[in-house]
Amino acid sequence: MSTFIAGLDLARAFYHEAVQPILAKHHPRLSHSAALLGSGSEVLGFDDAVSRDHNWGPRLQLFLSAPDHDCLSATISQTLRGHLPYQFRGFATNWGAPKHENDDQGTQLLASITSGEVNHRVDIQTIDDFMRAHFGMGQYHELRSADWLSIPQQKLLSFTAGEVFHDALGLEIIRQRFTFYPRDVWIYLLACGWQRIGQDEHLAPRAGSVGDELGSRLIAGRLVRSIVLLCFLMERTYAPYPKWLGSAFQQLDCARELAPILESVQLAGGYRERERHLCAAWKVLNRLHNKLQLTKRIAPAVQEFHGRGFLVSDAWRYTEALVDRISCADLQQLAARSLIGGIDQFSDNTDLREAVHLRATIADLYAG
């Protein structure tokens, strides 16, 4: 194989050096945007040599207006099939036929050819169609609080990450709408993140106290995940899906201090040692929360749980203080009914989070 190049760098060069010159020659008046967004580790910048085993190579999205798409998409695709080089930067530009949709979700592999037309991965579509396939809503959809809560963070991240290489259609303006949650949605999600911690934090030492070290470790693992997701929210950054959650967490400002503590929680030999490391985490989270200045200062960071001898953060204090700061009426009503949080907070089921056709139904969970 060729020397590794980051997929995003490859896509950028592929557009500017191969695709754009063909468009300029054969469709000089074409108004379009070009980007690499959506699925793929390279969109998030986490691809490596292993990533080349599927759905990785010279590829990008070419966005057209709806009228141009209806009239020209087939012609443009055929032009690219006939004029793209067979190799680009040492990689084939031809892709094999997709595998069966039930076989690893229809993955495609690069397939070298030396004659004939190129089966390219310049995906020609409209921005609206891309967003409907990615989010389950079009570009003109007016976002409600329930819509924000029903979209997995991975979807939001992979739409706002990646790169736009050329933009005559205003794709960047649309992406800016999704940069991060509106303030009240953010506060609601923070409150729900603390709610998850409050429901579990006393259970890890409780299970350990009766000799159930496996149970204590399992609960501690849930707490570590809840802490990590809360940290992404605190730093106003979308969290990726599980494969890259730890890698992305290491890029947060708080990770330098918090990552070793969380690793110690997971490696602890007994529940008291585990509790000690969790207490260190509560102190860091307390400081991070107070730094946000969303509520009055909350202290101390660690308290005893109802005289039972277990030390916890008493997370309910953060939840209640944050809920009090919500000013949006629909989110106030939602918080009064339930603090289930966003889809990433109440479910880690991949099929549910990837079911774009169910997004509107999931949003209905918040309707009351």
Length, in residues, of the chain: 368
CA 362-224-334 angle, 5° bins: 30
Contact 158, 131 (CB under 8 A): no
Name the residue type at position 210: V
User: Would you tell me how many other CB atoms lie within 10 Å of the CB of residue 332?
Assistant: 15
Alpha-carbon dihedral sign for residues 328, 333, 339, 343: negative
Instruction: State how far the Cα of 359 lies from the Cα of 368, in Å rounded to an integer.
Output: 16
What pLDDT does residue 146 have?
Answer: 95
Q: Specify which residues 88 forms β-bridges with.
A: 91
Instruction: State how far the Cα of 274 lies from the Cα of 343, in Å rounded to an integer.
Output: 29
What pLDDT does residue 129 have?
Answer: 97
Mean pLDDT of 15-35: 97
Tabulate helix, strand, coil % of the chain (nearest 5). 55, 10, 35
Whether the pLDDT of residue 228 is over 90: the answer is yes
What pLDDT does residue 302 have?
Answer: 87
Structure confidence at residue 2 as a pLDDT band (50, 70, 90): low
What pLDDT does residue 106 have?
Answer: 63
What pLDDT does residue 36 have?
Answer: 98
Whether the pLDDT of residue 98 is over 80: the answer is no
Report which DSSP code applies to 201: T
What pLDDT does residue 99 have?
Answer: 61
The 10s digit of each residue's pLDDT in 242-252 is 999 999 999 99
Whether the pLDDT of residue 368 is over 70: the answer is no
Name the residue type at position 98: P
Question: Tokens in use for 366?
Answer: 């918040």
Mean pLDDT of 340-352: 93
User: Would you tell me how many other CB atoms lie within 10 Å of the CB of residue 150?
Assistant: 24
Return the closest-CA partner of residue 196 out of 334, 350, 319, 305.
319
Assign 299 to helix, strand or coil: coil
Rg (C-alpha) for the chain, rounded Å, is: 24
Question: Tokens in use for 176?
Answer: 């800016």
Q: Specify which residues 166 forms β-bridges with.
A: 34
Instruction: State how far the Cα of 190 lies from the Cα of 302, in Å rounded to an integer.
Output: 19
Whether the pLDDT of residue 102 is over 70: the answer is no
Give the orientation angle of helix 183-200 with respect to helix 213-234, to 10 degrees: 170
Name the residue type at position 195: Q
The 10s digit of each residue's pLDDT in 263-322 is 999 999 999 999 999 999 999 999 999 999 999 999 988 888 887 888 999 999 999 999
Express as a percent the part of the chain with pLDDT over 90: 87
The 10s digit of each residue's pLDDT in 129-171 is 999 999 999 999 999 999 999 999 999 999 999 999 999 999 9
Instruction: State how far the Cα of 190 lies from the Cα of 242, in Å rounded to an integer.
Output: 20
Express as a percent the part of the chain with pLDDT over 70: 97
What pLDDT does residue 236 have?
Answer: 98
Instruction: State how far the Cα of 84 lies from the Cα of 93, in Å rounded to an integer.
Output: 8
The 10s digit of each residue's pLDDT in 59-70 is 999 999 999 999
What pLDDT does residue 100 have?
Answer: 56
Assign 304 to helix, strand or coil: strand
User: Would you tell me how many other CB atoms lie within 10 Å of the CB of residue 190?
Assistant: 25
Mean pLDDT of 232-245: 96
The 10s digit of each residue's pLDDT in 167-207 is 999 999 999 999 999 999 999 999 999 999 999 999 999 99
How many alpha carbons fall within 13 Å on the CB side of residue 217?
A: 11
Assign 116 to helix, strand or coil: coil
Mean pLDDT of the chain: 94
- Residue ranges of E strands in 43-83: 60-64
- The residue to which tokens 């991240």 are assigned: 157
CA 35-40-44 angle, 5° bins: 75
Assign 166 to helix, strand or coil: strand
Mean pLDDT of 31-39: 97
